[in-house]
Amino acid sequence: SRLTTFIHAGKPVGWYKFEHLKGDIAIELVPPAYNIKGDRQQVDQSMSDLDQLGYPQGEVLVEENSITYRQQGWADFSYQVHTRWEDGKNTLEGCWSISSEKEGWETGPPADQVVSNEMAAGYLESFEEHLDWWNDYWSRSQVEIPDTLLEKQYYLEMYKFGAAARSDAPPIALQSVWTADNGKLPPWKGDFHHDLNTQLSYWPAYTGNHLHLEEGFLKWLWKYRPAFRQYTRDYFGVEGMNVPGVTTLEGEPMGGWIQYSMGQTVGAWLAHHFYLHWRYTMDREFLERRAYPWLKEVATFLDQVSVKTMDGKRKLLMSSSPEIFDNSREAWFGEMTNFDLGLILWTFEKAAELARELGLDKEADNWEKIYSEWPELAVDPETGFMFAPGYPYNVSHRHFSHLMPYHPLGLFDISNGKADSVIIRNTLVNLEKQGSDWWTGYSFSWQGNLYARALQGDKAARALSLFAECFCLKNSFHVNGDQCQAGHSNFTYRPFTLEGNFAFASGIQEMLLQSHTGVINIFPAIPSVWEDASFDHLRARGAFLVSAVMEGGKVREFEIHSENGGAVSIRDPFAGREFEAGKEYQSEGNILKIQTLPGETIRFKACY
């Protein structure tokens, strides 16, 4: 006998098909154990049993060729699971769906109706639609690298992203569509954590050229601005907008460690994604209607919530740095942390940039004035970025919140010259010196990005390899703790969360293509042992799609496709060798500058 099963990539249905059956089989629907008292034991951050939700046990209706399960949740929330099947000669073919409803939500067809419609269309048609969706997904970008471990893990991560993100779906939660059927709530309640988790989960959308799926994150944030504004007025007592660090499906605050669940720069970090979407698409309508309005509201909040000190500099009354000092009193800092300050400086810098792009010079002048009123970031001359003034990074910690000004915000970069390069180098050396005793898996993924951004390919590959080898299960899911138990971390537990997986994919992309400085850098952080590598249609800022081939350690050719036209700057990847260019260009040192037309593709090839 053979079972084929899939969940449709574009519709809320799944299919199962049994073939070559030698007898009858029974289909059974096993409902969640809402009425079975759990053991109340904490298992890998799963702290609550399902019966503690207080749901009444749902109703299972079994009919001749179908099963329907209806479950009432809290208040007016409910959901339905329905499956129907048809028997054939030595075969059984079935379809299932899940639907939910709540007052105020947009109403869609119930699960039984969805199944009925799909069964009428048939298994084959649904399967072909499913394959077409995935073929289109994989055609948007591809990479080929000689490290089989990293390449395999990369494609598994991008598969997860394709399975979890949709333009019309809520953000990727901690476990997204995957969760253990163990009678407990998933780790950390499976909610939306915005102090790292949702943000890292969308990192691979940009260079990976999957902005059509990243849109769901931004649409959800935009939809619940009224809830965010109300939270801002109620909790902080000012206008503008901030976002709770931990939210429900409808954007309401859920609580948690207050320093982070009610952090003052959560909205600013989320603004980074609005900015990235603009820079990678150059969609002016999005800039005018989404990116700048979001940054403007966040900047207004930060302006109003801050105070001025005796020296005329601004500060927050209390500052924090996720998740430094955990949930203790010491987690509140009297001075500005690099985490908060970095996000604040970035917000006012980019608010001014976008305002000028839109011709709003008075608003840009105001944002620049406010930017100038904040202090400098805390940097130790020997160890680099600090948590806050007087608090050097002198202890292993999983969350690199103090490094936000470097990555992902890009306020510091080695391209800026010697001063930045020294700070970044000292920071990375100190990060290694303090060790990984209290890191989790996502720390290694993030470290891979940090090294790639510093153009240190060997160390980037090593960090990402440790993640793949020791912080993922055999099914490739990130489980935070050191599964090798090889001393890479004192955490050896296994709560599953996705942000580490997606940060890994971003790290691979950073090794192959960078454009955060305004200059496209091809193969910027390739390990010394990599002789051959290639990629197709990775996306650069400015709405350029880049493809490139490296053979024998040298770039053989690359191609730039300009979606919107405009000027593009490319760091010459041919290392002084002669090359042919498909269009006239200007050379300034090792930078190639070209004016492109919308839809134009330009090819460069080495002369050898």
More confident residue, 583 or 183: 583
| Residue 258 to residues 138, 169, 238, 261, Cα–Cα distance (Å) | 41, 28, 19, 5
pLDDT value of position 180: 73
What's this model's pTM, rounded to 2 decimal places?
Answer: 0.97
* CA-to-CA separations, 550 to 199, 292, 540, 568, in angstroms, rounded: 31, 39, 18, 21
CA torsion 424-425-426-430 (nearest 10°) is 100
pLDDT tens digits along 305-327? 999 999 999 999 999 999 999 99
To which residue do tokens 């996720």 refer? 322
Q: How far is CA 176 from CA 82, 138, 189, 392, 555, in A?
A: 21, 21, 11, 35, 39
Please determine, for residue 45, whether its predicted confidence score (pLDDT) is greater than 90: no
Rounded CA separation 123/137 (Å): 21
**pLDDT confidence of 51, banded at 50, 70, 90?**
confident
What's the whole-number mean pLDDT along residues 528-532? Answer: 98
Q: What integer pLDDT is reported at residue 441 of this predicted model?
A: 98
In angstroms, the CA 324 to CA 330 distance is: 9
Instruction: State the pLDDT at residue 47.
Output: 63
C-alpha dihedral (140, 144, 149, 153), degrees to nearest 10: 0
Asked which of 47-61, 96-110, 316-330, 488-502 is least confident by mean pLDDT, the reply is 47-61
Residue 131 has pLDDT above 70, yes or no: yes
Q: Which phi and psi angles does 477 have, rounded to 5°?
A: -75, 135
Q: What is the pLDDT of residue 52?
A: 85
* pLDDT the model gives residue 591: 97
One-letter amino acid of 475 = N
- Return d(Cα 101, Cα 55) in angstroms, integer: 15
* pLDDT for residue 44: 62
Is 70 exceeded by the pLDDT of residue 124? yes
270: which residues sit within 8 A by CB, 6+ positions away? 194, 198, 199, 221, 243, 294
Averaged pLDDT score across all residues of the chain: 95
pLDDT for 41 beyond 90: no
- Cβ distance 539 to 143 under 8 Å? no
Residue 329 makes CB contacts below 8 A (sequence gap 6+) with none
Task: Region of 526 please: left (phi>0), alpha (psi -120 to 50) or beta.
Answer: beta
Range 66-83 average pLDDT: 96
pLDDT value for 183: 80
Residue 187: predicted pLDDT: 86
* C-alpha–C-alpha distance, residues 74 and 97, integer Å: 21
In 3D, which of 539, 481, 529 has the Cα closest to residue 506?
539
Model confidence pLDDT, tens digit, residues 150-181: 999 999 999 999 999 999 999 999 999 998 77
Name the E strands within 139-182: 142-144
- How far does CA 99 lie from the centroid of its chain? 26
Proportion of the chain above pLDDT 70, given as a percent: 98
pLDDT (tens digit, 9 = 90+) per residue, 230-264? 999 999 999 999 999 999 999 999 988 899 899 99
Which tokens belong to 85? 């099947």
* SS3 letters across 274-341: HHHHHHHHCCHHHHHHHHHHHHHHHHHHHHHHCEECCCCCEECCCECCCCCCCCCHHHCECCCCHHHH
Give the three-state DSSP class for 178: coil
- Do 385 and 377 contact (CB within 8 A), yes or no? yes
Is residue 40 scored above 80 in pLDDT?
no
Give how far Cα 132 sits from Cα of 156, 215, 385, 535, Å. 19, 20, 47, 22
Residue 4 in this model has a pLDDT that exceeds 80 = yes
584: left (phi over 0), alpha (psi -120 to 50) or beta: beta
Q: What is the pLDDT of residue 150?
A: 98
What domains does the chain contain, in order, with CATH numbers?
2-139 (no CATH), 142-514 (1.50.10.10), 533-606 (2.60.40.1180)
- For residues 30 and 19, give the distance between their C-alpha atoms in angstroms, rounded to a whole number: 23
Angle at 476 (CA atoms; ends 470, 477), nearest 5 degrees = 90
Tokens of 314: 């601004």
Predicted confidence (pLDDT) per residue in 564-589, tens digit = 999 999 999 998 899 999 999 999 99
